[in-house]
A and B are shown apart, each in its own frame.
Chain A
């Protein structure tokens, strides 16, 4: 701060006695009275110096970047699933999954490539999720872990039974444990075993009110169908199971509003519904009747993000009250099979996976999982957790979740972690020697072999 504040001008003389200049004028600044207040603004320094650029408004200067994205373009980019990466190394000695290896104990801790047709089918049923790390490797491969072998054995045993049986299970576990990939593995097994795979890829799409809905007349409680979703669903079923369905023909009379060729193959029959929104739901019901008719293959009926259907949906009913997710016809169809109200006459497996991320609160589901765990431990009576009778609860969800088998998915073992880390290294994505030290470190950092965290720690957060 200049000491000459308030002084207009001073004359200075050089040592020679001559004026250095006529008047060296100092900038005038009015004396600022000393303020009693100590507020922050008074302590501010002076105005910005001359020659110093003022802060430009960057937002105003931003140019528009040409063509705006077309409707749906950004969503398509967001939902894009990339299953191969040409920059990743090809893993030598990686075998493709085959029907013989899947149930063997020797397959444990090994990586298997998914065969091409299976990948196509899995892609058609949206079994691959954009958040999973498929894009980092040359080809889609899966780790065959202990639960995978158990699952394969369950499915093999189901197919062998003389009297068909419907097995129902829920995959539960914390975020990143591989529940969705376990569903994918079940679907891959089913495709290889020529089962019919029907997959609801994300239950959230059904309940978050992003797709149209319409009431079904004459139902109580009021039911709702989602025509466009079901049409797309039928197209997925037809495409994914084309190999099986094209060999199967219509065998029953169905009361439909259009004439249908009597010996039409089932994939073409499904396509009929995919093309016509009005026909989608009736054709789905007819197709289901066909698939559960005598002499048909077993069915794998799966749903991911179960939490979203164990609560009220985002849809509003006529009375402006939220519609319970179980009143949506397709959801109800799945829940009936999951709860055991309906069975699969030709046998099969009904599976649902809970979600760990973006998890909506569903206390009923949490309770059902804890009850199932208690049952597995052999607890009975009061030791099994019960719903607090004074707490308002969702009775329908509770009933549908009673008596369910819960497949609790935990972290990988160290051997399994080593198997997948070696695969990362062989793909050139992990540039470290895979030894006991690295395995131990990654296993601990990933919270005990949580595979999603393992991938994050080893691949995405590379040092």
Chain B
């Protein structure tokens, strides 16, 4: 690990000058000679290399030259990663002076997770290493969007997930032309859609009255619970469609649906409704049956033989 570090630091720009010149030349030489066939740069560059050997009878350059890596990061064992990090750090250094957003106000970006990054990378990179890239990316993301340089945006794009979940903005529910607000609710395997409209307390569930739809009074109370806790039973009418599950599930699905519709009319009621348990979906579902058991947990009775 230590050797790895030293190798890496050896090629870092800061320490590069402290190394012996001979080593430096060894790596930089081929860079200069990369445009082998370029003739346009003849004025500023060294003369073209004659591969077939020159007049002095020396062997050709191809035969003489060592094959050298394209990047000085080659000897870090993770050249791709190192180049990427150095590239980002260079960008950051270049644009460090640009104005940034206030802390906590950077646009939310879903960066690639380590696993996703590994799919695109050909090298094994540890999580800690990747987090160094992320650290630079977070800083770059703070550059004010109106001044965001093109190259930074392009560089960051590589590390963003294909789909940014934070781009998905929840559509605000609105009251339609007829004054109806639609709310959706679920509980166990039931789902309910309720249209809440200003009215005088009439409720229709699947085309039936509340008493016909729910035989139990407790279920009826569940269905209109959001109206009851906010003291608005006689101010709204509800027209609901409920399906799936049993009666209790349907009634409690309606609780959420009605609360969602009601919050469209009166968003200020949300804290009250939350305290009354009308906002959060109850995530509990039936526990699956397991083999060797009679039900989810019930053990069979012991039989002597």
What is the chain B residue whose CB lies nearest that of A437? Answer: B231
Task: Verify A440–B201 contact, CB threshold 8 A.
Answer: yes
Task: Verify B293–A43 contact, CB threshold 8 A.
Answer: yes
Contacts A174-B212, A440-B201, A441-B233 given: A42-B292 contact, CB under 8 Å? yes
What is the chain A residue whose CB lies nearest that of B294? Answer: A40
Our pick among A46, A440, A446, A447 for the contact of B302 (Cβ within 8 Å) is: A46
How many A-B contacts at CB < 8 Å in the complex? 72
Task: Verify B292–A446 contact, CB threshold 8 A.
Answer: no
Instruction: Give a binary string over B195-228; 1 marks a CB under 8 Å from any A CB, 0 the rest.
Output: 0000001110000011110000100110010011
Cα distance A383–B217 in the bound complex, in angstroms:
38
We find that the number of chain B residues with CB closer than 8 angstroms to chain A is: 26
Task: Verify B201–A456 contact, CB threshold 8 A.
Answer: no
Cα distance A456–B214 in the bound complex, in angstroms:
14
Within residues 327 to 363 of chain A, which ones have a CB less than 8 A from any CB in chain B? none
Measured between beta carbons, the chain A residues less than 8 angstroms from B234 are: 436, 440, 443-444
Task: Verify A444–B302 contact, CB threshold 8 A.
Answer: no
Task: Verify A447–B209 contact, CB threshold 8 A.
Answer: yes
Our pick among A44, A444, A456 for the contact of B210 (Cβ within 8 Å) is: A444
A48: interface (CB < 8 Å): yes
Task: Verify B292–A43 contact, CB threshold 8 A.
Answer: yes
Cα distance A47–B305 in the bound complex, in angstroms:
11
Measured between beta carbons, the chain B residues less than 8 angstroms from A445 are: 210-211, 217, 220-221, 224
How far in angstroms is the closest Cβ of chain A from B252?
Answer: 16
A86: interface (CB < 8 Å): no
What is the chain A residue whose CB lies nearest that of B234? Answer: A440
B34: interface (CB < 8 Å): no
What is the chain A residue whose CB lies nearest that of B220? Answer: A445
Contacts A41-B300, A44-B299, A456-B217 given: A441-B228 contact, CB under 8 Å? yes
What is the chain A residue whose CB lies nearest that of B301? Answer: A44
Measured between beta carbons, the chain B residues less than 8 angstroms from A447 are: 203, 209-212, 220
Q: How large is the interface on A (under 10, 10 to 19, 20 to 34, 35 or more residues)?
A: 20 to 34
A461: interface (CB < 8 Å): yes
B64: interface (CB < 8 Å): no
Cα distance A436–B209 in the bound complex, in angstroms:
21
Secondary structure of the B contact surface, majority rule:
loop
Instruction: Give a binary string over B66-88; 1 marks a CB under 8 Å from any A CB, 0 the rest.
Output: 00000000000000000000000
Cα distance A437–B227 in the bound complex, in angstroms:
11
Contacts A40-B293, A453-B211 given: A47-B233 contact, CB under 8 Å? no
Our pick among B217, B224, B228, B303 for the contact of A44 (Cβ within 8 Å) is: B303
How far in angstroms is the closest Cβ of chain A from B278?
Answer: 16
How far in angstroms is the closest Cβ of chain B from A430?
Answer: 14
Our pick among B212, B217, B227 for the contact of A457 (Cβ within 8 Å) is: B217
Cα distance A411–B292 in the bound complex, in angstroms:
54
A113: interface (CB < 8 Å): no
How far in angstroms is the closest Cβ of chain A from B237?
Answer: 10
B304: interface (CB < 8 Å): yes
Task: Verify A450–B211 contact, CB threshold 8 A.
Answer: yes
Task: Verify B292–A461 contact, CB threshold 8 A.
Answer: no
A176: interface (CB < 8 Å): yes
Task: Verify A444–B217 contact, CB threshold 8 A.
Answer: no
Within residues 36 to 65 of chain A, which ones have a CB less than 8 A from any CB in chain B? 38-48
How far in angstroms is the closest Cβ of chain B from A44?
Answer: 4
How far in angstroms is the closest Cβ of chain A from B224?
Answer: 6
Cα distance A443–B292 in the bound complex, in angstroms:
51
Measured between beta carbons, the chain B residues less than 8 angstroms from A450 are: 209, 211
Measured between beta carbons, the chain B residues less than 8 angstroms from A243 are: none
Instruction: Give a binary string over A13-42; 1 marks a CB under 8 Å from any B CB, 0 the rest.
Output: 000000000000000000000000011111
Instruction: Give a binary string over A224-251; 1 marks a CB under 8 Å from any B CB, 0 the rest.
Output: 0000000000000000000000000000
What is the chain B residue whose CB lies nearest that of A174? Answer: B212
Cα distance A40–B291 in the bound complex, in angstroms:
7
Measured between beta carbons, the chain A residues less than 8 angstroms from B292 are: 38-40, 42-43
Cα distance A174–B227 in the bound complex, in angstroms:
26
- Which 8 interchain pairs have the tightest Cβ spacing? A447-B211, A440-B234, A43-B292, A447-B209, A40-B300, A44-B302, A444-B201, A440-B233
> Can you list 23 pairs linking A and B with CB atoms under 8 Å apart?
A38-B291, A39-B292, A40-B300, A45-B299, A47-B302, A174-B212, A176-B211, A437-B231, A437-B233, A440-B201, A443-B234, A444-B224, A444-B227, A445-B217, A445-B220, A445-B221, A447-B209, A447-B210, A447-B211, A447-B220, A448-B203, A453-B217, A456-B217
Q: A444-B210, A450-B209 are in contact. List 5 more A-B contacts (CB 8 A).
A: A40-B292, A46-B302, A446-B211, A447-B203, A448-B202
